[in-house]
Amino acid sequence: MEKNLNSSIKFINHASVIIENENIKLLSDPWYFGDAFHQGWSLIFENKKEDILEILNSITHIWVSHEHPDHLSIPFFKEYKELLKNKNIKILFQETKDKRVFNFIKSLDLEIIELKNKKEYSIGDNFSIKCVKFGFYDSALLINTGDKKIFNLNDCPLNNKKDLSLFKKNFGSCDVLLTQFSYAAWKGGKNNILWRKNAADEKIQTLIYQAETLEAKTVIPFASFIKFSNIRNSYLNENRNTHNSILEKTKNTKINIIFLRPNEKQDINFLSQDKETLKFWDEKLTQSNNQNLINYKNEYSLDELNISFSKYRKRIFKKNSKLFLYIVRLIPFIKALKKVVLKTENLEKCIVIDIFKNEIDFANHVDYDIELSSESLNYILNNSFGFDTLTVNGCFEEGTKGGFKKTTKLFAIENLNNLGIYFNFSLIFNLKIISFFFKLLKKVETNLKKGNS
């Protein structure tokens, strides 16, 4: 393939970069302002509106890796839909069963192209892409521009040598690797320091494995330029990786790691670390650490929560077989869909959630599975992605041992529904999905035990 000396990469923010040559300017995952995950995350740096407009006036495509709001920013698409439409910017997203993102983009009257898994698409001269799906909802984008190969892995769980070797066998090596560099979810609560430290170290080890196995000439860590910004989750900032910790803990490797700052553009053939970039992130981290934390403003009474609970049960039983769910609940070794006891900050007593009961009621004891704000609980009950949001923002604390696992086995129904997986008798034959779900729960349980030992 003809060498293209004009291929470049420009960092915009968090997981958003522009990969371009003379014909194509492909933007990824635009999240530039506002909070994410129900007031749980904030950006370390927010882009100015004039910079966003300049970016959107020059690009040809936007690729969204997955549905999480730090990658698919609903406020961004709503605010700039007219400009995106007028500029005829094409939105690229993985093909999914539920079509939720597809339908959302179409509702804005924007053009969206569904990318079939592992199929190569030529979107311009000397510019081709291939979307590779991971797990339940993540996806990576493999880009060929000129003679350069760029792998954007963002949050994809490609973290062990076996899976990486298979990935390398299927897709080869790369010149540039873009990958997440810190943990991005709840890690066992305030006192589970060991889990947080291990999670941070595991991210660094994953970065090293990815770089070495895929023979990346340059690694650009990204998709972690955030702050846990709620008073309930700010402790998660204490052990997260930063640009400094990544560079320090990889200094004895042969990996060429560079960080970019917003609006920094470099030729892909001559990537190098700009010292001003490191100073920039030092300054922004200090500023973000001094910013005020978010506190939920709303408190909900039991009556108000019951109105939301009624809506929640209607959603659950509309999409899932009530009989099948009840049978699952009775299976001893699964221990799923049991009632959970929650403690909220404003209600004097703990409350009991049981999907087979018509109402939430007060508990007759003080032991609880998890503690959360009534606003978080109301958010879960009113949004099908609510519990997924809670597990990412970490704005809760576990009460009794195993309380989070028990709560997950109840509220994760809608997580699976959102992926096109429904609880009915046909699920019995989908052993792969059941096995994968319980493996995730087992990993959480193991980390909790380590942290509490």
Q: Are residues 189 and 257 in the same domain?
A: yes
The pLDDT score that the predictor gives to residue 416 is 83
Q: Are residues 315 and 417 in the same domain?
A: yes
CA-closest candidate to residue 30, choices 79, 78, 53, 63? 63
Calpha distance 453→450 (Å, rounded): 5
Which domain-ending residue is among 289, 320, 347?
Answer: 289
Residues pairing with 62 in the sheet: 27, 91
The pLDDT score that the predictor gives to residue 137 is 86
Q: Are residues 99 and 194 in the same domain?
A: yes
The pLDDT score that the predictor gives to residue 162 is 94
The pLDDT score that the predictor gives to residue 112 is 98
The pLDDT score that the predictor gives to residue 417 is 85
Other CB atoms within 10 A of residue 125 CB: 14
Q: Are residues 262 and 341 in the same domain?
A: no
Examine residue 90 and state whether it is found in any structural domain, yes or no.
Answer: yes
Confidence grade of residue 70 (pLDDT, cut at 50, 70, 90): very high
- Of all residues in the chain, what percent carry a pLDDT higher than 70? 93
Q: Are residues 349 and 259 in the same domain?
A: no
- Of all residues in the chain, what percent carry a pLDDT higher than 90? 85
Examine residue 97 and state whether it is found in any structural domain, yes or no.
Answer: yes
Average pLDDT of every residue of the chain: 93
List, for residues 378-405, the tens digit of each pLDDT value. Answer: 999 999 999 999 999 999 999 999 999 9
Confidence grade of residue 452 (pLDDT, cut at 50, 70, 90): very low
Examine residue 232 and state whether it is found in any structural domain, yes or no.
Answer: yes
Lowest mean pLDDT among 138-142, 158-162, 363-367, 418-422: 418-422
Residues pairing with 436 in the sheet: none
Calpha distance 95→70 (Å, rounded): 19
Q: Are residues 225 and 333 in the same domain?
A: no
Any idea what the Cα angle at residue 178 is, between residues 173 and 181, rounded to 5°? 120
Q: Are residues 120 and 233 in the same domain?
A: yes
Total domains in the fold of the chain? 2
Q: Are residues 97 and 188 in the same domain?
A: yes
Examine residue 294 and state whether it is found in any structural domain, yes or no.
Answer: no
Confidence grade of residue 138 (pLDDT, cut at 50, 70, 90): very high
**β-bridge pairing 127-134 and 148-154:** unpaired
Examine residue 125 and state whether it is found in any structural domain, yes or no.
Answer: yes
Examine residue 295 and state whether it is found in any structural domain, yes or no.
Answer: no
Indicate which CATH number applies to the domain containing 201: 3.60.15.10
List, for residues 309-351, the tens digit of each pLDDT value. Answer: 999 999 999 999 999 999 989 988 888 899 999 999 999 999 9
CA-closest candidate to residue 246, choices 260, 259, 263? 259
The pLDDT score that the predictor gives to residue 406 is 94
Which domain-ending residue is among 265, 289, 313?
Answer: 289
Confidence grade of residue 442 (pLDDT, cut at 50, 70, 90): low
Lowest mean pLDDT among 62-66, 204-208, 281-285, 426-430: 426-430
Query: Which pTM value belongs to this model?
Result: 0.92
Contact 37, 27 (CB under 8 A): no
Q: Are residues 158 and 27 in the same domain?
A: yes
Confidence grade of residue 194 (pLDDT, cut at 50, 70, 90): very high
HEC string for the chain: CCCCCCCEEEEEECCEEEEECCCCEEEECCCCCCCECCCCEEECCCCCHHHHHHHHCCCCEEEECCCCCCCCCHHHHHHCHHHHHHCCCEEEEECCCCCHHHHHHHHCCCCEEEECCCCEEEEECCEEEEEEEECCCEEEEEEEECCEEEEEEECCCCCCHHHHHHHHHHHCCCCEEEEECCCCCCCCCCCCHHHHHHHHHHHHHHHHHHHHHCCCCEEEEECCCEEECECCCHHHHHHCCCHHHHHHHCCCCCCCECCCCCCCEEEHHHCCCCHHHHHHHHHHHHHHHCCCCECCCCCCCHHHHHHHHHHHHHHHHHHCCHHHHHHHHHCCCCCCCCCEEEEECCCCCCEEECCCCCCCEECCCCCCCEEECHHHHHHHHHCCCHHHHHHHHCCEEECCCCHHHHHHHHHHHHHHHCCCCCCCHHHHHCHHHHHHHHHHHHHHHHHHHHHHC
| pLDDT above 50 (res 268) | yes
| pLDDT above 60 (res 441) | no
Calpha distance 250→56 (Å, rounded): 35
The pLDDT score that the predictor gives to residue 437 is 58
Q: Are residues 154 and 245 in the same domain?
A: yes
Q: Are residues 21 and 165 in the same domain?
A: yes
The pLDDT score that the predictor gives to residue 440 is 57
Confidence grade of residue 3 (pLDDT, cut at 50, 70, 90): very low
- Encoding tokens for residue 306? 């019951």
| pLDDT above 80 (res 286) | yes
Confidence grade of residue 55 (pLDDT, cut at 50, 70, 90): very high
The pLDDT score that the predictor gives to residue 451 is 44
Give the total residue count for the chain: 453
The whole-number average pLDDT for the span 362-390 is: 96
Indicate which CATH number applies to the domain containing 346: 3.30.1050
| pLDDT above 80 (res 431) | no
Calpha distance 443→453 (Å, rounded): 16
Sign of the torsion formed by the C-alpha atoms of 195, 196, 201 and 202 = positive
The pLDDT score that the predictor gives to residue 136 is 78
- Encoding tokens for residue 379? 């958010």
Give the domain extent around 378: 302-452
Other CB atoms within 10 A of residue 59 CB: 19
Examine residue 3 and state whether it is found in any structural domain, yes or no.
Answer: no
Examine residue 415 and state whether it is found in any structural domain, yes or no.
Answer: yes
Q: Are residues 211 and 141 in the same domain?
A: yes
Which domain-ending residue is among 248, 264, 289?
Answer: 289
